[in-house]
Amino acid sequence: MNNTINRLHKAFESRIRLGIMSVLAVNDMLDFNALKEYLDVTDGNLASHLKGLEKEEFIGVEKTFVGKKPNTKYFMTKAGKKAFADHLTALEKLIKGVNE
């Protein structure tokens, strides 16, 4: 089991980060407010987790304006998609009791 556990990515240990990646896996791009609503978290909590995933380069950010209001949208990067898929594969193997 140890090899399988080692394949779990530390960046996804938090339920909020796991939630962010899950939501972005099924949506091409979401803005801050949509993520906040999906995950039912505070602004500060979401912002800190987004920064962590952005630092890992698992998510990208697109900043635009809607009228005069700033609008920040997030998307999963290619590296993020791979890391998240690898993490899910490791979880599945752990649940099934498969060791590599």
Looking up residue 51, the CATH number of its domain turns out to be 1.10.10.10
Nearest to 46 by CA among 86, 68, 74, 84: 74
CA distances from 39 to 4, 7, 21, 95 (A): 28, 25, 11, 25
Structural domain span for residue 51: 2-96
Give tens-digit pLDDT for 10-58: 999 999 999 999 999 999 999 999 999 999 999 999 999 999 999 999 9
- Phi and psi torsions of 63, nearest 5°: -105, 125
SS3 assignment, position 1: coil
**In terms of DSSP H, where are the helices of 1-100?**
2-6, 15-26, 32-39, 43-55, 78-96
Q: Which residue has the higher pLDDT, 51 or 9?
A: 51
pLDDT at 4 > cutoff 70 = no
